[in-house]
Amino acid sequence: MKNNTSSMKKVNYNLIQILKYKDISIALLTIVLLIIFASINKIFVSKQNIAIILKTLPELGLMAIGMTMLIISGEFDLSVGSTFALAPYLMAILTEKGGINYLFAFFGCIIAGIIIGLINGVITTKIGIPSFIATLGTMMAWRGAMLLISGGFPQTFPRDVRLAKVFAGNISGFPVQFIWFIALAAILWVILEYCKFGNWTYVTGGNKDASLALGVPVDLVKTINFMIVGALSAFAGSIQVFRMGSAYSVAGTGMELQAIGATVIGGTLLSGGSGTIIGTIMGTIIIFSVENILILSRAPAFWFRTFVGVIIIIAVSAHIIFQGRKR
Amino acid sequence: MSRSVLKAMIVLVVLLGIVGVVFAEGTKEAEKTVPPKVGGAGLGYKFVLVNHGSSGDPYHAGVKKGMEDAALVYGVKAEMIFSEGDTAKLVDQLDQAIVGNPDGVGITITDEVAFDDIIKRAIDRGIPVIAFNMDDAETPNARLAYIGADERKVGYTIGKYMQRYLKRGDHIVIPEEFPGMTYAIFRSAGIKKAMDEIGVTYEELDAGVEKAECSRRVSSYLMGHPETDGIIGVGGITTEVSSMVVEDMNLQKRVVVAGFDLLPGTAEGVKKGITKGTIDQQPYLQGYFCVVELAMIKFGKFSAFDIDTGRGIVTQDNVDEVLELVKRKIR
């Protein structure tokens, strides 16, 4: 009897240890939720519905994985929504009004995102303004610049050019943008988990003073992470333009909070020093799946924001309980 | 970070700024037309138009363009302030505009009572006030006239037009960018009235204003409600996105789309026959005639009068000629 009790305790202890291992708890939570959703409504796992989720998920997902890198290094970027709108708008206007080659304009879009990230990084690290305030300022400044250039009017972009097909087309119905998303997420995962820069990112966010003492170039690490999230936001915005055929001034509105939400659901600490790319992917999947299942299941169409909010809190709480953390 | 990198960054910022300004100015120059000045020209009147909308909304960009063109024609100064959807801010902005003692004020009245006192105070001080785009038609209000579409009427108009594509027992969804805002409430009420007449069921959907969000919610709705036969969006974004979603899901033979405004995707949908009709509220005219009426009131003490701008339905038959005007940012 005593042996049985002690072996049960051992199994429980091992289970708790497994759940505490990085992404296991959030992955399990996501799988459990997906199974529940599939049992609620069979359409949830239909090919067409999965295609809908996979087609729209990369836009938020790309922004969120970039945000994860930045939050781990101890900073925020609230200007990602404005970058999401401005950089692709420049691409559309360069091609449609400037007659510039689509590919060059696309690179211009990504470079614009990188420059915006660089500016955020320098303001935060060199002038010393907290990133929350600095990027709140640039969020408004870039949105304003966007309005100055566009006058509020949308700029069309052809959906049928090769560039649009390469980044937002489909292969036998499978959305190409999801492949790009997974590829870029895999690169960031490798950087974060297996490269020196990843270690620097974790220690920079975890303990700035200690990392300085260890010789980690803290400011450079943060600035590079700002540039990564800038580039990814620009890329995400261009995917939307390829998909929708127009760039418009209010694109990306509110996406900064959704990206932070996906990151936090995925287990990244807002205080920095902890978090994973896989967790953020799971967080993004949870946000999209919850909304999707509520509409599929005929939840009152005006109430689902409330449901989504409640389910997000439940998901994060469950994750915290598994991980044994208090924030 | 070394000094050279900092210098490079400063150069890049300046370059980016220059590129932006050059593009903005270039675009403006290309669009600028200098028509002959007529009645009241050069009198230097100063008008302020206070708008509930977002400065980034293409619809309100059209209203602003109309205002700017009329200001050029009549030789007056006109500026537009946006409250980005915040009614309380709109009230404060109107109050501040009147304190500046302008020659006339335009306002989008988004609330039945919140603006009443301020508008009356302005009229008492001799500042003419014209409502544009949104009006308080239900309760007494001192504004002199309304220029724009009757929201309930345009909702009913598009619903009535869509009766030919639907039949008793059909079901439609009404996606809304901002559920609870006056325009959405009144337009959907008009649409529902027209649907009730022919026994079509309906449901409103909180679709959101961000295109990606809107597209996945409309897609999810169509997946979960396969009995849906039609979509009538209450605004520009929902109408544009609905058309694209129906095409992407290959439902164009079963699901008909209609709605409001002429965003690029909507125009494409109309051309392809996916979107059967869209109400063009002619936002350009709302801004244009608001300035014209204010100028005429100051110039010749003329009486103000209502103008209904929401009469046009764009269909496959007339979309091409309208699109030519869209390119010039007039429609």
Helix/strand/coil (H, E, C) string of B249-274? CCCCCCCEEEEECCCHHHHHHHHHCC
Supply the pLDDT for residue A78: 96
Residue B29, exposed/middle/buried by CB under 10 A (0-12, 13-18, 19+)?
exposed
Supply the pLDDT for residue A231: 98
Q: Give the residue on B whose Cα is nearest the Cα of A109.
A: B16
Closest CB from B203, B204, B265 relative to A244 = B265
Supply the pLDDT for residue B9: 55
Q: How far is B7 from chain A (nearest CA, A)?
A: 12
- Whether the per-residue pLDDT at B87 is higher than 60: the answer is yes
- Average the pLDDT over each of A34-43, A172-181, A227-236, B85-94 and give the range with the smallest value: B85-94
A148 contacts in chain B (CB < 8 Å): 20-21, 24
Q: Do B268 and A301 touch (CB under 8 A)?
A: no
What letter does residue B304 receive in the DSSP assignment? P
Condensed to tens digits (0 to 9), the pLDDT of residues B259-273 reads 998 888 898 899 999
Supply the pLDDT for residue A12: 64
Region A243-250 average pLDDT: 86
Q: Is A119 on the interface with B (CB under 8 A)?
A: yes
C-alpha–C-alpha distance, residues A287 and A284, integer Å? 5
What is the set of domains in chain A, with CATH numbers?
Answer: 25-323 (1.10.3470)
- Mean model confidence pLDDT for chain A: 88
Give the start-end residues of each E strand in chain B.
Answer: 46-51, 77-82, 104-107, 129-132, 145-148, 171-176, 201-206, 228-232, 256-260, 275-280, 307-308, 312-314
Q: Is A304 on the interface with B (CB under 8 A)?
A: yes
Give phi and psi for B183, each to the nearest 5: -60, -40
A119: its two tokens: 């500016």
B285-321 per-residue burial string, b: 16 or more CB within 10 A, e: under 16: bbbbbbbbbbbbbbbeeeebeebebbebbbbeeebee
Element (H, E) at B42: none
Bridge partner list, B107:
B50, B131
C-alpha–C-alpha distance, residues A327 and A310, integer Å? 17
Most B CBs within 10 Å, among A86, A160, A244, A287, to test the B interface: A244
- Average the pLDDT over each of A80-84, A170-174, B19-23, B83-87 and give the range with the smallest value: B19-23
What letter does residue B276 receive in the DSSP assignment? E
Q: Give the residue on A whose Cα is nearest the Cα of B65.
A: A151
- Whether the per-residue pLDDT at A263 is higher than 60: the answer is yes
C-alpha–C-alpha distance, residues B159 and B153, integer Å? 10
B221 contacts in chain A (CB < 8 Å): 295, 301
Q: Give the residue on A whose Cα is nearest the Cα of B226.
A: A296
Closest CB from A41, A97, A255 relative to B210 = A255
Q: At B159, is the pLDDT very low, low, confident or very high (cuts 50, 70, 90)?
A: very high
Give A 130-189 residues with CB within 8 A of chain B: 143, 145-154, 156
- Mean model confidence pLDDT for chain B: 85
Q: How far is A1 from chain B (nearest CA, A)?
A: 53
- Whether the per-residue pLDDT at B216 is higher than 50: the answer is yes
Supply the pLDDT for residue A297: 81
C-alpha–C-alpha distance, residues A158 and A299, integer Å? 36
**Maximum average pLDDT range among A132-136, A270-274, B36-40, B132-136:** A132-136
Supply the pLDDT for residue B36: 47
Which among A117, A76, A24 has a CA at the least distance from the CA of A205?
A76
Supply the pLDDT for residue A311: 74
Judge contact between B279 and B259, C-beta under 8 A.
yes
Closest CB from A48, A248, A291 relative to B223 = A48
Q: At A137, is the pLDDT very low, low, confident or very high (cuts 50, 70, 90)?
A: very high
A295 contacts in chain B (CB < 8 Å): 205, 217, 220-221, 223-224
Q: Do B265 and A246 touch (CB under 8 A)?
A: yes
What is the set of domains in chain B, with CATH numbers?
Answer: 35-149+282-311 (3.40.50.2300), 152-280 (3.40.50.2300)
The strand order across the sheet containing B46-51 reads B77-82, B46-51, B104-107, B129-132, B145-148, B307-308
**Predicted complex ipTM:** 0.73
Q: Do B224 and A295 touch (CB under 8 A)?
A: yes
C-alpha–C-alpha distance, residues A10 and A18, integer Å? 12
Supply the pLDDT for residue B17: 61
Supply the pLDDT for residue B284: 92
Supply the pLDDT for residue B150: 85
A181-216 per-residue burial string, b: 16 or more CB within 10 A, e: under 16: beebbeebbebbeeeeebbbbbbbbbbbeebeeeeb
- Whether the per-residue pLDDT at B215 is higher than 80: the answer is yes
Region A100-125 average pLDDT: 95
Supply the pLDDT for residue B212: 85
Neighbours of B20 (CB within 10 A): 16
Q: How far is A18 from chain B (nearest CA, A)?
A: 35
- Whether the per-residue pLDDT at A204 is higher than 80: the answer is yes
Supply the pLDDT for residue A176: 95
Neighbours of A259 (CB within 10 A): 35
- Whether the per-residue pLDDT at B6 is higher than 80: the answer is no
Bridge partner list, A281:
none
- Whether the per-residue pLDDT at B92 is higher than 60: the answer is yes
Judge contact between A285 and A57, C-beta under 8 A.
yes
Position with higher pLDDT, A16 vs B326: B326
Angle at B217 between CA B215 and CA B218, to 5 degrees: 65
Model's pTM, two decimal places? 0.78
Q: Do B56 and A244 touch (CB under 8 A)?
A: no
Q: At B222, is the pLDDT very low, low, confident or very high (cuts 50, 70, 90)?
A: very high
**Maximum average pLDDT range among A261-270, A309-318, B84-93:** A261-270
Most B CBs within 10 Å, among A47, A52, A297, A298, to test the B interface: A52
